[in-house]
């Protein structure tokens, strides 16, 4: 018989983790904000916040846990969940589920794999997912924003227009990916329309508290905040599996080794992680390593699993 999970003092745990990683947050050389998106480059890399939401919706936080930041690639998880909920498993005919081993914006694999991206969390794969969501809903970015408002319980969530414009102005690589996949028939909407929704999707601002709450359906085996079912238990399990193997760019093996949880990072410095059946976490610290993951964020999640013994292994 499965035993009841042991109660944890999440607030005391967060305060200890924040103290443990404080030196990494303060060290200028421990990571740098994303320089290729000007609106992100200006963010102070010494910011740090972390939140935990348990499955019943109680939230605990430390540091800048209520400070909104640019979610960037973290939204790929929610877009994938919506696309699967609305359109089912036919999505997987257009995007794979394997780690890429290449940078998140790489063009290399697409040509010899006939325009089918390796997974939904590299940029090419996320473009395919957003394209699918646009076909299913007619307004992918707005549908995603409304979903996040409902799941986080925060109706004030919004797009950051400055970040979206910055993404668009420096989005030539994403445009190249989209047009290349369109040449193989793997994109169905006009590429300019797709890119607009993709850039706005990545420009949603949320706090650690918002993201931890919004991701709870992955810890609740597919159940939304209102108790309705978004995904089957199997679909939620599979999204968590793809997060574990593909969610932190080409450092997913290192993340699984150090943290041992399904996670999804973004170049805004945020990382969402899931303890199935127990809780969701979000950590934010804008200083990134060379692979685009938050240095202090990964360290904080590693401390969480080490101190609690909670992981999927």
pLDDT tens for 221-239 read 999 999 999 999 999 999 9
Render 37-104 in DSSP notation, one character per residue. Answer: SHHHHTS-TT--EEEEEETTS-EEEEESTT--EE-GGGHHHHHHHHHHHHHGGGGGGTS--S---S-T
pLDDT at residue 36, rounded to an integer: 78
pLDDT at residue 6, rounded to an integer: 65
pLDDT at residue 72, rounded to an integer: 96
Catalytic residue numbers read 73, 76, 198, 249, 267
Mean pLDDT, residues 91-107 taken together:
83
The predicted model scores a pTM of 0.94
19, 36 contact by CB (below 8 A): no
Q: Is the pLDDT of residue 24 over 60?
A: yes
63-84, pLDDT tens digit by residue?
999 999 999 999 999 999 999 9
pLDDT at residue 1, rounded to an integer: 33
Query: How many percent of the chain have pLDDT more than 90?
Result: 81
Mean pLDDT, residues 50-75 taken together:
97
Angle, vertex CA 197, rays to CA 194 and CA 201, nearest 5: 135
Helix, strand or coil, per DSSP, at residue 134? helix
103-153, pLDDT tens digit by residue?
666 777 888 889 999 999 999 999 999 999 999 999 999 999 999 999 999
232-278, pLDDT tens digit by residue?
999 999 999 999 999 998 899 999 999 999 999 999 999 999 999 99
Spatial distance between the Cα atoms of 83 and 131, rounded to a whole number of angstroms: 9
Q: Is the pLDDT of residue 189 over 80?
A: yes
pLDDT at residue 29, rounded to an integer: 53
Order of strands across the sheet that contains 279-284: 59-63, 49-54, 279-284, 270-275, 263-265
Mean pLDDT, residues 195-199 taken together:
98
Angle, vertex CA 272, rays to CA 269 and CA 277, nearest 5: 165
Alpha helices (H) along the chain: 10-26, 38-41, 75-87, 108-112, 123-137, 140-152, 161-169, 172-183, 191-202, 208-214, 216-219, 233-246, 252-258, 295-308
CA distances from 185 to 110, 173, 283 (A): 13, 19, 38
The number of C-alpha atoms within 13 Å of 200 and in the hemisphere containing its C-beta is 18
Q: Is the pLDDT of residue 18 over 50?
A: yes
Residue 54, token pair as written in the block? 């348990």
């Amino acid at each position: 018989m499965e035993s009841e999970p042991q109660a944890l003092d999440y607030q005391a745990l967060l305060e200890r983790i924040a103290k443990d990683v404080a030196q990494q947050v303060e060290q200028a050389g421990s990571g740098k904000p994303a320089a290729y998106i000007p609106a992100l480059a200006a963010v102070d890399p010494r910011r740090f916040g972390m939140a935990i939401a348990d499955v019943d919706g109680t939230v605990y936080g430390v540091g800048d846990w209520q400070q909104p930041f640019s979610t960037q690639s973290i939204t790929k998880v929610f877009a994938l969940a919506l696309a699967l909920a609305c359109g089912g498993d036919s999505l997987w005919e257009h995007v794979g589920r394997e780690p890429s081993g290449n940078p998140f914006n790489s063009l290399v694999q697409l040509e010899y794999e006939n325009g089918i991206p390796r997974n939904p969390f590299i940029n090419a794969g996320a473009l395919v997912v957003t394209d699918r969501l646009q076909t299913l809903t007619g307004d992918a970015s707005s549908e995603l924003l409304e979903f996040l408002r409902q799941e986080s319980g925060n109706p004030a969530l919004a797009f950051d227009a400055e970040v979206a414009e910055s993404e668009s102005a420096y989005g030539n690589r994403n445009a190249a990916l989209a047009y290349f996949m369109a040449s193989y028939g793997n994109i169905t909407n006009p590429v300019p329309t797709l890119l607009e929704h993709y850039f706005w999707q990545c420009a949603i601002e949320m706090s650690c508290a918002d993201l931890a709450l919004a991701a709870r359906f992955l810890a609740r085996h597919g159940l939304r905040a209102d108790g309705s079912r978004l995904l089957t238990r199997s679909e939620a399990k599979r999204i968590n599996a793809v997060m574990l193997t593909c969610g932190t760019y080409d450092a997913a093996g290192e993340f699984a080794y150090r943290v041992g949880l399904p996670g999804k990072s973004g170049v805004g410095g945020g990382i969402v992680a899931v303890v199935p059946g127990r809780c969701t976490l979000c950590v934010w610290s804008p200083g990134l390593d060379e692979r685009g993951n938050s240095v202090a964020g990964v360290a904080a999640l590693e401390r969480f699993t080490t101190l609690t013994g909670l992981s999927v292994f």
